[in-house]
A and B are shown apart, each in its own frame.
Chain A
């Protein structure tokens, strides 16, 4: 199974960009990178996903390196409500079925 490595925790000042790195050096060519976040006492929430190209949506941007061995999730203007655990996930192919394998994530603390 492709695995991901993330820092355990990060801090960010409110209003600044939060850049969350993820290492997925064993990723296969057809595996997508997904990001989810989990706010305290809630289930995980989808943020964004990508394969090769950089992606942007209303929540965040995803930058994937050319060799696809790492990626960075960018929250351009972090708010206090962005305090959460952020999970970088590679969808694992199982006989044509794809399942999400979560790591331990990065705990992002956004401070005033």
Chain B
């Protein structure tokens, strides 16, 4: 069975600090996909990134970067120079290749960025 663990329940930082959100996953499949979603207070989940299991290259998008390490089954998310607008709950999710895009989510990490 697949599982996603986000051990950090809540993180508080001051604006402009860098912050890393951890994600550890479990799956028996060799082909799978990992995702990060952001959920602001409005409730709507916003897609951030999708990564397949064969692509271990790190990715950077503006202030966001992702570190995928198959050896440790981790897919961590770093926000550089955090801003108040980054305050939200962030979810890591896993989809197995045979799962028709259905997602298994972690419990989420609430990020609070104060001015």
A and B are partners in one complex rather than unrelated chains = no
Residues of A bordering B, CB below 8 Å: none
Give the A-binding residues of B (Cβ under 8 A).
none
